Amino acid sequence: GEQVEQRPPHLSVREGDSAFITCTYTDPNSYYFFWYKQEPGASLQLLMKVFSSTEINEGQGFTVLLNKKDTRLSLNLTAAHPGDSAAYFCAVSASSGSWQLIFGSGTQLTVMP
Amino acid sequence: EAAVTQSPRNKVAVTGGKVTLSCNQTNNHNNMYWYRQDTGHGLRLIHYSYGAGSTEKGDIPDGYKASRPSQENFSLILELATPSQTSVYFCASGDGTGYAEQFFGPGTRLTVL
């Protein structure tokens, strides 16, 4: 079945720098992708959902890139600030009836003032 | 506003005891999911359900049972709790389509002594 590898597990950047997180997935037929943010002690909040038909998606302060050829999904937080400090998880919707989410192992991001 | 609630929020159990974690959703979603979150593993799917009366095994079902008595409620049952089941458990709901995100509850921190 689908497997998702997320890198790096830990990332520390200075305020104003970019933070880049990458996930690679194994099923080339996967079509729906998600990024979740989890603040300390809290639940998961959806950051963005990405459809395979769109390769670049922009949100407030971040960009999501989808490279279908390399089966790679990336999150780039531009001009990170301390409020971005959290765990970030990518997830791929399984191309089967359950539509279960296959999660990456997460990236703990720390943004230093 | 989508709402998924879980109870209890924290639980300490003894080895061999029975533990029931409860989840309620007011989203009127067909699908519900139980995940556990452990450091270095992201979220892993234990059981899921397509609707009232339905339960399906996820990726790591051993040692867990699930019950979906109604559209709104989904329980996770540990009949004989073991220390290896110490974890944070998240419930989620989704409308059963691949492009729709899952909405997560606040989590239950379970410690098995």
pLDDT in tens, A15-65: 999 999 999 999 888 888 999 999 988 999 999 988 876 677 777 888 999
The backbone region for A71, taken as left when phi is positive above 0, alpha when psi lies in -120 to 50, beta otherwise, is left
Share of chain B above pLDDT 70, in %: 97
Share of chain A above pLDDT 70, in %: 95
Model pLDDT, residue B108:
97
Mean pLDDT of the residues in chain B = 94
Model pLDDT, residue B1:
60
Average pLDDT over residues B4-12: 97
Rounded to the nearest angstrom, the minimum Cα separation between A108 and chain B is 10
Give, in degrees to the nearest 5, the angle at Cα A107 between B109 and A53: 110
Q: Which of A6, A90, A100, A103 to mutate to test the interface with B (most CBs of B within 10 A)?
A: A100
Average pLDDT over residues B29-34: 94
